[in-house]
Amino acid sequence: MNRLPSISRRDFLQLIGLGLTSLLIEPFESAAAKSDPPIFTHGRRDLPFVALTFDDCYLFYELCRLEQFLESQPGLKVTFFPVGVALENIGRRDRQLRSRLYQRGHEFGYHSYDHTLPSTLNTQEMLADYDRWLETLSKWIGETPSVRFARPPFGERSRSFLEMCAAQNLVVAMWSTDWPAALSPNISPNNRVQAGDIIIFHTRDADINSLPRVIDLLAERRLSPLTMSELYFYSLGVPPTADCDGPAPRTGRQHYYPK
Q: Which of 109, 240, 238 is nearest to 174 (CA)?
A: 109
Domain 9-258 annotated CATH 3.40.50.450: no
Give the CA diameter of the chain: 49
Helix or strand or coil: residue 29?
A: coil
Q: Please state the pTM of the whole predicted model.
A: 0.82
pLDDT in tens, 139-161: 999 999 999 999 999 999 999 99
Residues forming a β-bridge with 232: none
Q: Which of 178, 177, 179, 176 is nearest to 209 (CA)?
A: 179
Phi/psi at 113 (nearest 5 deg)?
Answer: -80, -40
Domain extent listing, the chain: 9-258
pLDDT in tens, 153-204: 999 999 999 999 999 999 999 999 987 777 777 766 666 789 999 999 999 9
Report yes or no: 246 and 12 within 8 Å, Cβ to Cβ: yes
- Euclidean distance between CA atoms 139 and 91, whole angstroms: 9
Per-residue CA distances from 91 to 85, 95, 139, 174, 251 (Å): 10, 4, 9, 26, 36
